[in-house]
């Protein structure tokens, strides 16, 4: 990738699929990315930029002239254009918007006026809408003339004179229907309409639930404003489910392309929170100092009770966070789910307590020590199972994202209860007297 190879690089890269060129950028380090950006020049077009990872695109776009970015943006569908522009710094954003034609500029500014991660930002405005009184033949003729105005489409929307959606026709119906039939005979009136303000996670759930390929977006007055297609939703779903994993682990929403300082900031917050919960556990252990001094093996065994509890809590929490995210868990089955998780935790608790209690009793030739650790384990695992359901559920009801904050609370509960139960039972039973 030296300067003299530019022509060669361009010749090698140009025949690739835009998604593969975008992948290539992701594989390179920062210096080579700059070199490739320069080498490709104008061949670094809308399709390539649209396919690039957000962090990598930020870096690449930062090196392009605003006119170059504006040219790429004007070739994109509104949804891709908005995805690119919304990530820019305000000054860069302004510079790029200034270079756009008035039409494109208005389209993008309208989209940016909708909340982040809402349907309004995901939709493309390019769509085909026809009146209800047309025949299929009229629609077919209209499409022959509309040739140059639209990109790919998968459904045709039937609208009232006020541009309110009345129904949809999949293109396969249009192609197989007798041509003398009316639009109103062929269209489906049952529609899944997406309000322009709807959060993208909700949009994705509706696509999943109703197995949609595309869906109409309506503005606040109920008029047809745009269309969202399944290929965009595929990205959203992968993103949202992936984000839940990262959030649960306290890693923010970063990926391996996020700048190091951003990753540091996102993660250190949760480590500090974890430090505070660690202090709670440490205080509990310290308060049993006298017992531990008499029987130091208690200090070695207590982390096992805490850690198994943490594990059980995490298992339940992961299941519940997914159930809440996918809409499986509702008021109707909350009670049943809590009982279900308590039952699983109880079975796990008894199994682990038997193994651990027997092992400890034999190893230390001390049946009482085995009994104490077994009892502490059963109770801590039941508490862990309940905490794994109640914490995410409670956070959701308070309007907090359960994926983000559940871990800290569940870990605090299972850790502190693990130490408290084990050391408490040991002290109360006079084990170390």
Nearer to a second copy among residue 200 and residue 337 (C-beta): 337
217 touches 233 (CB < 8 A): no
Nearer to a second copy among residue 61 and residue 325 (C-beta): 325
Question: Exactly one of 275, 362, 367, 428 binds a second copy (CB under 8 A); which one?
Answer: 275
Which residue's entry shows tokens 């100092």? 289
Stretch that binds a second copy, among 62-70, 95-103, 109-117, 234-242 (CB under 8 A): 234-242
Please state at what angle helix 18-27 crosses helix 54-61, rounded to 10 degrees. Answer: 90
Question: Exactly one of 27, 102, 162, 180 binds a second copy (CB under 8 A); which one?
Answer: 27
- Interaction between residue 165 and a second copy (CB under 8 A): no
Mapped onto helix, strand or coil, the DSSP state of residue 119 is helix
DSSP state, residue 100: S
| Shortest distance, position 185 Cβ to a second copy, whole Å | 14
- Interaction between residue 380 and a second copy (CB under 8 A): no
- Interaction between residue 374 and a second copy (CB under 8 A): no
Q: Which two tokens stand for residue 206?
A: 């509706």
Stretch that binds a second copy, among 33-41, 96-104, 110-118, 204-212 (CB under 8 A): 204-212
Question: Exactly one of 65, 268, 362, 367 binds a second copy (CB under 8 A); which one?
Answer: 268
* Separation CA 260–CA 170 (nearest Å): 46
- Interaction between residue 1 and a second copy (CB under 8 A): no
Q: Which of residues 66-125 bind a second copy (CB under 8 A)?
A: none
**One symbol per residue from 310 to 329: x for binding a second copy (CB under 8 A), - otherwise; what is it?**
-xx-xxxxxxxxxx-xx-xx
- What b/e sequence results for 93-110 when a residue is b if at least 16 CB atoms lie within 10 Å of its CB, and e otherwise? bebbbebbeeebbebbeb
| Residue 383 burial (10 A CB sphere; 0-12, 13-18, 19+) | buried
- Interaction between residue 354 and a second copy (CB under 8 A): no
- Interaction between residue 34 and a second copy (CB under 8 A): no
| Shortest distance, position 15 Cβ to a second copy, whole Å | 10
# residues contacting a second copy (CB under 8 A): 123
- Interaction between residue 358 and a second copy (CB under 8 A): no
**One symbol per residue from 238 to 257: x for binding a second copy (CB under 8 A), - otherwise; what is it?**
x--xx-xxx-xxxx--xxxx
* Separation CA 81–CA 52 (nearest Å): 13
Nearer to a second copy among residue 72 and residue 318 (C-beta): 318
Q: DSSP string of 255-288?
A: -TTS-HHHHHHHHHHHHHHHHHHHHHHHHHHHHT
Stretch that binds a second copy, among 3-11, 62-70, 109-117, 296-304 (CB under 8 A): 296-304
Q: Which two tokens stand for residue 363?
A: 């190893």
Strand order in the sheet with 155-159: 129-131, 155-159, 165-170
Stretch that binds a second copy, among 6-14, 85-93, 98-106, 165-173 (CB under 8 A): 165-173
Residue 129: CB atoms within 10 Å = 14
Q: Report the greatest alpha carbon distance in the chain.
A: 95
């Amino acid at each position: 990738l030296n300067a003299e190879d530019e022509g060669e690089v361009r010749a090698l890269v140009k025949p690739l699929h835009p998604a593969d060129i975008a992948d290539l950028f992701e594989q390179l380090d920062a210096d080579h990315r700059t070199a490739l950006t320069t080498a490709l020049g104008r061949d670094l077009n809308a399709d390539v930029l649209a396919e690039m990872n957000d962090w990598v695109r930020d870096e690449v776009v930062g090196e392009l002239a605003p006119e170059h970015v504006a040219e790429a943006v004007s070739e994109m569908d509104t949804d891709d254009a908005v995805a690119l522009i919304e990530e820019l710094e305000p000054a860069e954003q302004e510079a790029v918007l200034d270079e756009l034609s008035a039409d494109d500029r208005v389209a993008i500014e309208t989209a940016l006026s909708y909340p982040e991660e809402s349907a309004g930002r995901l939709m493309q405005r390019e769509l085909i809408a026809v009146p209800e009184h047309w025949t299929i033949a009229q629609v077919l003729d209209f499409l022959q003339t509309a040739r140059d105005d639209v990109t790919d489409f998968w459904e045709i929307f039937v609208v009232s004179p006020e541009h309110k959606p009345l129904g949809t026709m999949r293109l396969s119906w249009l192609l197989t229907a007798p041509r003398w039939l009316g639009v109103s005979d062929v269209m489906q009136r049952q529609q899944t309409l997406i309000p322009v303000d709807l959060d993208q996670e909700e949009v994705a759930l509706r696509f999943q639930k109703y197995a949609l390929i595309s869906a109409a977006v309506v503005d606040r007055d109920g008029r047809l404003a745009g269309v969202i297609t399944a290929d965009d939703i595929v990205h959203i779903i992968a993103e949202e489910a992936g984000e839940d994993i990262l959030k649960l682990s306290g890693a923010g929403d970063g990926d391996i392309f996020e700048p190091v300082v951003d990753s540091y900031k996102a993660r250190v917050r949760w480590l500090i929170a974890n430090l505070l919960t660690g202090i709670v556990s440490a205080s509990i252990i310290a308060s049993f100092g006298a017992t531990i001094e008499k029987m130091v093996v208690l200090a070695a065994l207590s982390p096992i009770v805490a850690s198994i509890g943490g594990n059980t809590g995490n298992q339940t929490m992961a299941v519940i966070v997914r159930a809440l995210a996918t809409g499986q868990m509702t008021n109707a089955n909350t009670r049943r789910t809590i009982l279900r998780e308590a039952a699983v935790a109880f079975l796990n608790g008894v199994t682990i307590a038997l193994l651990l209690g027997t092992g400890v009793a034999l190893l230390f030739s001390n049946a009482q020590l085995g009994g104490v650790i077994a009892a502490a384990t059963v109770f801590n695992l039941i508490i862990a199972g309940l905490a794994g359901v109640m914490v995410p559920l409670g956070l959701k009801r308070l309007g907090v994202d359960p994926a983000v904050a559940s871990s800290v609370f569940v870990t605090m509960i299972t850790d502190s209860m693990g130490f408290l139960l084990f050391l408490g039972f040991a002290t109360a039973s006079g084990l170390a007297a």
